[in-house]
């Protein structure tokens, strides 16, 4: 049992409880000794003398006390067993309650029962003593022993992060930010519209501090007496003037509120200057309804006075890169117009280093200065992890035996002694590097990136989950424990992986992401029990292909921008080929019928744009008629369990054919036997996935960026219920129809149901 884990999850005993219990036992023993003729004392490990069996029976009260104590010990053991820590340190959930089969009558009672997975990561930070590596993500902060990164991590759990912004503005998704106090005794994290402060040793919550918007950044003063926080988002009104709040770290009272004259929509980053009396704030502002150049302001915290404002000449200060203080505490570094710049703290002057970041790097995410002050590490969205010498010399190369430097990196941080550099890639893979040689020292794949596929296997106990980190994971759906993990490709986007319905086979499409135009290396077929390779179907297609098994697991369909192919797996196991059927065209969605005889797909090419159903036994291709005045661009489809109908998501907003002047997004039923379109329901957003319930009475739909699961009546297409907006993009039902499973960008799988 992990004692640190108990600090997080077990309610502490009342003060003096153990001493009182020992005193009570001593009193009982003294009474016992007055009624016994002979006592032969035995000494326990803590030096307390316990009596042996007396020559005649002890008083009844003594046995009652001992029985009570034994019952308490057994109860503690039971509690410990229930809240045990699996590999990774996350608390196992209780077994799911008895559930009702989901139907049109009880679906309005749908409730979230469990959350599975460690989720996506946002920021890495070393403790001041370098002994702990803190990783902030959607579930809170995970604390790793920096000297034993393979040991289970502890979770300081946070509240759910706010939903992504429903706007076209290119702003990063809500992220968890963290900061250590200088002495390491406090850890602050952004927690939605509040800041949660922890004792990172005991796991106790020290304070929950409210803020009037989503908090985006936190910072402790160098003397540890102040904590600052700021926030906001592009969703804020254009005339919003969000403050920076500063709290006293003893009383947790607001001691300063820094306003702004800017019509702002976000406070991206904060950093106290070395004197603890001044605070640098990186604002994002709006001017006349459009994004304006961002500003850096230095505030006198006590006087609440705007002391200095950066005059950047109208250039971009950088999106989320933040600040990095030089070791001599004389300069505060940041990114200015794709160049490394700094503020001379004493003179309050802007300095240009002349060191450039790659010109294609327009979205720096994180900065870190080496403790010796000679180099700077830059994490970015499209240029990976870069190391730049501040004197302009060549960057340090990074070498990884597995993958090399990632294309997209969210966070980077040097250890206090400067020997190690940690980075978090877009897919939540954590890499620790030797900062002198650039060699990879350690890699963590315990965390989840965006979920790209989720399916409950027929035994009702195992959950198959795929995410963009390239991992194929099997979870216990009751406890949330990770049972197995097989590493597939470097990354698995969309539906680049699948399992047969019985879990006997796994498959993934290997894609090279360094060059979006490079072909994949084939479809890999694995043994579902061991992860051992069985065969590779060699094909050279574009990297956005998707794959799906037939219900009997004997065939596999791959589809994408260059068409659709059906593969015979028995033949491919022998020859590596086995191509059974192939059609050209731009295909967004495809699926086998329940019996596996037909494959339906949405075609978009010069010859035909619409629904195609192909009979694999005949063979025969059937083209569905076009709905009136609509070119059918199919983004998702699913067969009804009886194979008589299809539900199709149509989205033709990207085309204009002169017949349809308004956007057309609908959900439609299609009768396969009569080849007729049936009911229609309007949609507001792009559909990511659709799924039928096993009894065919319900249809689940995920729309983006709404990211909620919407449940429709399968006959009338009446909307019955919508789940909260929880990042859902993938959705499926359990084979027995009692569970609804959703997964999304946050890397978490949510389990929904209706308890009996």
Contacts of 48 (CB under 8 A, 6+ apart): 22, 26
Tokens read off for 58: 């002890």
* Mean pLDDT in residue range 715-731: 92
Distance CA 713, CA 352 (A): 62
Whether the Cβ atoms of residue 307 and residue 301 lie closer than 8 Å to each other: no
Residue 439 DSSP one-character state: B
Distance CA 577, CA 538 (A): 6
Let me know if 457 is exposed, middle or buried by CB neighbors in 10 A (0-12, 13-18, 19+): buried
Q: Which residue, among 82, 78, 91, has the nearest Cα to 153 in the 3D structure?
A: 91
* Mean pLDDT in residue range 314-334: 77
Main-chain dihedrals φ then ψ at residue 449, nearest 5 degrees: -95, -165
Q: Which residue, among 375, 432, 443, has the nearest Cα to 130 in the 3D structure?
A: 432
Site of tokens 């969210």: 410
Report, in angstroms and rounded to the nearest whole number, the Rg of the chain calculated over CA atoms: 30
Q: What is the mean pLDDT of the chain?
A: 79
Please report the pLDDT score of residue 577 as a whole number.
66
Task: Give Dmax (Cα) for the chain.
Answer: 107
* Mean pLDDT in residue range 13-31: 46
CA dihedral 251, 252, 257, 262 (to 10 degrees): 160
Tokens read off for 599: 């494959």
Whether the Cβ atoms of residue 480 and residue 462 lie closer than 8 Å to each other: no
Please report the pLDDT score of residue 706 as a whole number.
73
DSSP H or E run through 391: none
CATH architecture, domain 120-309: 7 Propeller (2.130)
Distance CA 135, CA 126 (A): 9
Q: What is the pLDDT of residues 668-713, one digit of tens each?
A: 999 999 999 998 899 988 899 999 999 999 999 998 877 889 999 9
Please report the pLDDT score of residue 481 as a whole number.
92
- Range scoring the smallest mean pLDDT among 269-278, 374-383, 654-663: 654-663
Q: How far is CA 130 from CA 29, 134, 145, 416, 433, in A?
A: 49, 10, 9, 6, 15
Main-chain dihedrals φ then ψ at residue 634, nearest 5 degrees: -95, 120
Distance CA 167, CA 169 (A): 5
Pairing mode of beta strands 42-43, 728-733: unpaired
* Mean pLDDT in residue range 511-539: 73
- pLDDT of 287 > 80? The answer is no
Q: Which residue, among 95, 101, 98, has the nearest Cα to 739 in the 3D structure?
A: 101
Q: What is the pLDDT of residues 450-495, one digit of tens each?
A: 898 999 999 999 999 999 888 899 999 999 999 999 987 767 767 7
- pLDDT of 6 > 70? The answer is no
Secondary structure of 13-80 in the HEC alphabet? CCCCHHHHHHHHHHHHHHHHHHCCCCCCCEECCCCCEECCCCCCCCCHHHHHHHHHHHHHHHHHHHHH
Q: What is the pLDDT of residues 119-129, one digit of tens each?
A: 999 999 999 99
* Mean pLDDT in residue range 290-306: 79
The pLDDT-based confidence of 145 (bands split at 50, 70, 90) is very high
Distance CA 81, CA 9 (A): 12
Scanning 496-626, the segments in alpha helix (DSSP H) are: 569-575
Whether the Cβ atoms of residue 177 and residue 218 lie closer than 8 Å to each other: yes
Whether the domain at 342-447 and the domain at 489-702 fall into the same CATH topology: yes
Asked if the bond preceding 589 is cis, omega within 30° of 0, the reply is no
- pLDDT of 642 > 60? The answer is yes
The pLDDT-based confidence of 317 (bands split at 50, 70, 90) is low
Please report the pLDDT score of residue 629 as a whole number.
62
Distance CA 234, CA 168 (A): 10
Contacts of 295 (CB under 8 A, 6+ apart): 262, 282, 283, 285, 309, 310, 312, 317
Contacts of 317 (CB under 8 A, 6+ apart): 282, 293, 294, 295, 296, 310, 334, 335, 336
Let me know if 108 is exposed, middle or buried by CB neighbors in 10 A (0-12, 13-18, 19+): exposed
- pLDDT of 8 > 80? The answer is no
Within 301-437, strands assigned E span: 305-309, 324-325, 331-336, 339-344, 349-356, 364-369, 375-380, 385-389, 409-414, 420-425, 430-434
* Mean pLDDT in residue range 369-381: 87
What's the residue count for the chain? 756
Q: How far is CA 527 from CA 257, 445, 500, in A?
A: 60, 21, 10
Distance CA 356, CA 365 (A): 15
Domain boundaries, the chain: 3-82, 120-309, 342-447, 489-702
Whether the Cβ atoms of residue 622 and residue 675 lie closer than 8 Å to each other: yes
Residue 521 CA, chain-centre distance (Å), reads: 27
- pLDDT of 414 > 90? The answer is yes
Please report the pLDDT score of residue 119 as a whole number.
94
Please report the pLDDT score of residue 52 as a whole number.
33
The three-state secondary structure class of 533 is strand
Tokens read off for 98: 């008895």
Share of the chain above pLDDT 90, in %: 45
- Range scoring the smallest mean pLDDT among 355-369, 427-441, 489-503: 355-369
> Higher confidence at residue 708 or residue 220?
220
Tokens read off for 376: 């700077």
The pLDDT-based confidence of 59 (bands split at 50, 70, 90) is very low
Write down the pTM of the prediction: 0.82
Please report the pLDDT score of residue 395 as a whole number.
64
Please report the pLDDT score of residue 274 as a whole number.
96
* Mean pLDDT in residue range 494-498: 82
The pLDDT-based confidence of 604 (bands split at 50, 70, 90) is confident
Please report the pLDDT score of residue 19 as a whole number.
55
The CATH number of 489-702 is: 2.130.10.10
Tokens read off for 521: 């290396």
Distance CA 98, CA 736 (A): 13
Other beta carbons within 10 Å of 24: 13
Residue 571 DSSP one-character state: H
Please report the pLDDT score of residue 268 as a whole number.
76
Q: What is the pLDDT of residues 164-205, one digit of tens each?
A: 554 433 344 578 999 999 999 999 999 999 999 999 999 999
Distance CA 511, CA 560 (A): 13
Other beta carbons within 10 Å of 15: 8
Residue 450 DSSP one-character state: S
CA dihedral 558, 562, 563, 569 (to 10 degrees): -30
Q: How many CA atoms lie within 13 A of 577 on its CB side?
A: 5
Please report the pLDDT score of residue 659 as a whole number.
47
Distance CA 455, CA 464 (A): 5
Q: Does domain 342-447 have CATH number 2.60.130.10?
A: no
Strand order across the beta sheet in which 187-190 lies? 178-180, 187-190, 194-198, 205-210
Pairing mode of beta strands 620-623, 609-615: antiparallel
The three-state secondary structure class of 644 is coil
């Amino acid at each position: 049992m992990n004692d640190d884990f108990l600090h997080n999850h077990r309610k502490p005993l009342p003060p003096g409880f153990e001493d009182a219990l020992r005193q009570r036992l001593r009193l009982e023993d003294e009474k016992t000794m007055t009624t016994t003729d002979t006592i032969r004392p035995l000494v326990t490990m803590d030096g307390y003398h316990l009596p042996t069996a007396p020559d005649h029976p002890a008083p009844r009260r003594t046995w009652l006390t001992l029985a009570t104590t034994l019952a308490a010990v057994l109860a503690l053991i039971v509690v410990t067993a229930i809240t045990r820590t699996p590999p990774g340190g996350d608390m196992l959930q209780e077994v799911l309650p008895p559930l009702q089969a989901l139907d049109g009558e009880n679906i309005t009672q749908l409730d979230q029962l469990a959350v599975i997975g460690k989720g996506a990561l946002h920021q890495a930070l070393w403790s001041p003593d370098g002994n702990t590596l803190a990783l902030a993500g959607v579930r809170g902060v995970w604390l790793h022993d920096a000297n034993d990164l393979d040991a289970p991590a502890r979770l300081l759990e946070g509240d759910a992060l706010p939903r992504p912004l429903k706007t076209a503005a290119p702003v990063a998704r809500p992220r968890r930010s963290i900061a250590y106090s200088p002495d390491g005794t406090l850890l602050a994290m952004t927690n939605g519209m509040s800041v949660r402060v922890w004792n990172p040793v005991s796991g106790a919550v020290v304070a929950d501090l409210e803020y009037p918007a989503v908090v985006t950044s936190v910072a402790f003063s160098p003397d540890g007496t102040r904590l600052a926080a700021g926030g906001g988002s592009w969703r804020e009104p254009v005339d919003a003037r969000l403050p920076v709040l500063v709290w006293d770290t003893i009383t947790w009272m607001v001691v300063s509120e820094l306003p702004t004259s800017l019509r702002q929509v976000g406070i991206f980053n904060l950093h106290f200057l070395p004197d603890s009396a001044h605070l640098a704030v990186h604002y994002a502002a709006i001017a006349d309804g459009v994004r304006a150049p961002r500003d850096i302001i230095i505030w006198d915290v006590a006087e609440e006075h705007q002391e200095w404002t950066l005059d950047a000449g109208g250039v971009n200060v950088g999106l989320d890169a933040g600040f990095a203080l030089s070791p001599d505490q004389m300069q505060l570094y940041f990114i200015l117009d794709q160049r490394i710049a700094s503020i001379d703290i004493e003179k309050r002057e802007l300095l240009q280093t002349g060191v450039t970041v790659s010109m294609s790097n327009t979205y720096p995410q994180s900065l870190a200065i080496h403790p010796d002050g000679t180099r700077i590490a830059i994490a970015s969205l499209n240029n990976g992890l870069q190391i730049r010498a501040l004197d302009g010399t060549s960057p340090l190369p990074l070498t990884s035996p597995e993958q090399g430097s990632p294309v997209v990196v969210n966070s980077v941080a040097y250890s206090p002694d400067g020997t190690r550099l940690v980075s978090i890639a877009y897919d939540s893979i954590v890499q620790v590097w030797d900062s002198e040689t650039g060699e990879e020292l350690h890699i963590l794949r315990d965390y989840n990136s965006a979920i790209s596929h989720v399916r409950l296997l027929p035994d009702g106990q195992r959950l198959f989950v795929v995410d963009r980190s390239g991992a194929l994971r099997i979870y216990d759906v009751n406890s949330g424990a990770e049972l197995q993990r097989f590493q597939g490709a470097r990354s698995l986007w969309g539906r680049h992986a699948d399992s047969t319905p019985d879990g006997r086979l796994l498959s993934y499409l290997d894609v090279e992401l360094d060059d979006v135009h490079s072909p994949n290396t084939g479809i890999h077929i694995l043994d579902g029990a061991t992860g051992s390779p069985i065969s590779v179907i060699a094909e050279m297609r574009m990297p956005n292909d998707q794959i799906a098994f037939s219900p009997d697991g004997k065939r596999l369909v791959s589809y994408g921008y260059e068409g659709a192919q059906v593969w015979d797996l028995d033949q491919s196991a022998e020859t590596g080929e086995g191509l059974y059927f192939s059609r050209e065209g731009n295909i967004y969605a495809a699926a086998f019928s329940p019996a596996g005889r037909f494959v339906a797909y949405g075609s978009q090419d010069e010859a035909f744009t619409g629904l195609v159903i192909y009979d694999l036994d005949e063979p025969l291709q059937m083209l569905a008629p076009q709905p009136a005045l609509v070119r059918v661009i199919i983004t998702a489809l699913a067969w009804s369990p009886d194979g008589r109908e299809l539900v199709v998501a149509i989205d033709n907003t990207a085309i204009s054919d002169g017949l349809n002047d308004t956007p057309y997004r609908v959900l439609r039923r299609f009768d396969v036997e009569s080849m007729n379109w049936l009911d229609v329901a309007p949609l507001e957003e792009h559909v990511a996935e659709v799924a039928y319930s096993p009894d065919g009475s319900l249809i689940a739909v995920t729309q983006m960026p709404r990211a909620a699961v919407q449940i429709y009546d399968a006959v009338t297409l009446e909307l019955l219920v919508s789940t909260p907006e929880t990042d859902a993009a993938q959705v499926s039902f359990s084979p027995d129809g009692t569970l609804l499973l959703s997964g999304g960008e946050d890397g978490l799988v949510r389990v929904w149901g209706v308890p009996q």
